[in-house]
Structure 1
């Protein structure tokens, strides 16, 4: 294999979780050209990965003309192997028009997933295969029985310097403990109530004399306002003001991250930041739970979980017990345990 293309167009977490696949392909084909097709707004997550030669970025809002333009670039590159780990109509168009000598496609396990969500029948067994493992399994016949590479996120020095300078301008000293909170999520049913995030932040600040950075994207600003308003002077609102990699720097600088199931959680996993991860409507069997010695997962065994494989705009039962039953006190205790270790 001389030319390889990996396709994962979105989103933050899925792209970060693809890093072991890229590393495995590089280990198996050290002299190959390995490119990655992705939406332009996520390209920085890949830009400094030493295993990637080129990023084929396109504007996700450009519609079919933009998609076909990307497909033409892919076809002209004459790839030997195209690995589609997104498996949407867009990624399928790119793969089919590539004219590659070989293709591999991610198994979305539609039947297992549907039975789990709609029938609560768990066919996954005792050992859950994580999403990074499933991505690597797409090419297992090509790479053989190699060890699973870790999930990684590579940050450039400019982003690091910019983020740390921005943080310093907000007040915390270099030696002051920093806690990061990620209260947003694309879907409502993945969000722990923001007033509880705020109460938690105030408790962590008071107990540890810590600064509390609230992080997230532009779409998380309304949620963040409910959070930092309750924390008071210790709060540093960075929501929607930092780039993806600058956000990653803040998370890496923190001694603790408390996050919903969102892109910031996967950043924390890749950067080995001690973390409390809060899960509501989704479950471990879907493959996205973070792993590590300094990771605490908090979830509630509500009978209606999972109600979706992704997320919902509202709780279909109306009670939202999967998140509302998670108390501030239990999250605080888990956070304090991790802070003592770190």
Structure 2
């Protein structure tokens, strides 16, 4: 009798960022489509938990920032307490979702300590009893598949499938109404072309220079009449404020003013997003909003998924490159190159068929 079946209490583990959670949503859908009675709990980071509440296939969210992902610092006793917490949920099984460059064994040990009897996951080396349902990782040196495909192929190992491979994100009606009213009150004319610009990013190495954003936005605003809405976190207000100042105050700056749900609602409304390779890009893709992404040469498997897009590449400064030599092997040639002129062309290409909503 097959262990993997409908009705399980299933722990899905995705411990990294918001965008990584979104790129795993087709795999979550495959599980719930195949096994609708399964109770799916997601263990994720605090950043991932913020967006998980907007994903309909997730039944429960547990949040914890582990010390083996992105340099999070935790006391050892808190990790032990997390294992005890997981044990109390009496999970039947766990699925470990990891980026190709991540080692799954610390998370597998966490599940082992929690007494979870079956664990599915990729691993490069033999994990023995730490991952009972071991899938040898075929992406040894560099990523060869899109992140969405990687996770869909993992759950296919337990016969979970879906024909709908889109990312999943559902903003609330209340957030949609509130954001539309907010930007309308600020003077945005929905009958004229407009776009959202998200210039911030969590890692400095993936940040496109603010001045180059300005050099792209000035001609778009002055020559083509685009309205610009800037978004970002409270910590990014100085960055968006700098860009707004260089645009003579003619952009609407909403940095630090939107909840994640409201940001999703804004992106659902927007005709286009310009951003670094960061979470809002994947939010836009989930919502069907075209994207111009300024893509640092870091993780080639994270391009926008199933949405009209233009990917423009730029080099990571030498002092900010990963210490992992394998992650420095970005596939070349990576073209076209990100430049203000290329951004302007990409916006015009993607907005060529835009029509205002009546």
Shorter-chain TM range is 0.7 to 0.9
What is the distance in 1 between the residues matched to 2:323 and 2:148?
A: 17
**2:155–2:161 Cα contact (<8 Å) kept:** no
Distance (whole Å) between structure 1 residues aligned to residue 64 and residue 161 of structure 2:
34
Q: Deviations over 1:51-74 (max 9, x none)?
A: 111112346776444433332232
Determine the C-alpha separation between the residues in 2 that align with 1:219 and 1:88: 31
Q: Normalising by structure 2, report the TM-score.
A: 0.78
More helix by share: 1
**How far did residue 102 of structure 1 move?**
1.3
Give the gaps of 5 or more residues in structure 2. 67-72, 125-135, 329-333
Structure 2 counterpart of 1:259: 275
Shift of 1:174: 3.5
Which residue of the partner structure matches residue 84 of structure 2? 72
217 and 39 in structure 1: CA distance in 2 versus 1, 3 angstrom threshold: same
Q: Is the CA contact (8 Å cut-off) linking 1:281 and 1:307 kept in structure 2? A: no
CA distance in structure 2 between the aligned counterparts of 1:259 and 1:309, rounded to whole angstroms:
25
Report if aligned partners of 2:166, 2:306 keep a CA contact under 8 Å in 1. no
Q: Kindly indicate whether residue 304 of structure 2 is the aligned counterpart of residue 295 of structure 1.
A: no
Q: What is the rounded CA distance, in whole Å, between the counterparts of 1:68 and 1:176 in structure 2? A: 55
What's the CA shift string for 1:168-221, capped at 9, x where partnerless? 332213433321111112222212210111222222223343321111223323
Match of 2:128 in 1: none
1:206 to 222, 225, 238: 222
Q: C-alpha distance in 1, partners of 2:96/2:187? A: 45
Q: CA deviation at 1:283?
A: 5.3
Is the Cα–Cα contact under 8 Å of residues 167 and 286 in structure 2 kept in the other structure? yes
Superposed, which structure 2 residues align to 1:82-97 within 5 Å?
82-86=94-98, 87=103, 91-97=107-113
Q: How many residues align?
A: 318
> Is the 1:216–1:264 Cα contact (8 Å) retained in structure 2?
no
Change (3 A) 1:99 1:188: same
Tell me the residue number matched to 1:49. Answer: 55
C-alpha deviation, 1:144, in angstroms: 5.1
- Pairwise CA distance, 1:253: 1.6
Query: How far is the alpha carbon of 1:88 from its aligned partner?
Result: 5.6
Give me the whole-angstrom Cα distance separating, in 1, the residues matched to 2:93 and 2:268: 34
SS at match of 2:10: strand
Q: Secondary structure at the match of 2:296?
A: coil
In the alignment, structure 1 segments of 5+ residues that lack a partner are 117-123, 316-321
- Paired residue for 1:23? 29
RMSD across aligned positions (CA): 3.2
C-alpha distance 38-332 of structure 1, shift in aligned 2 (>3 A): same
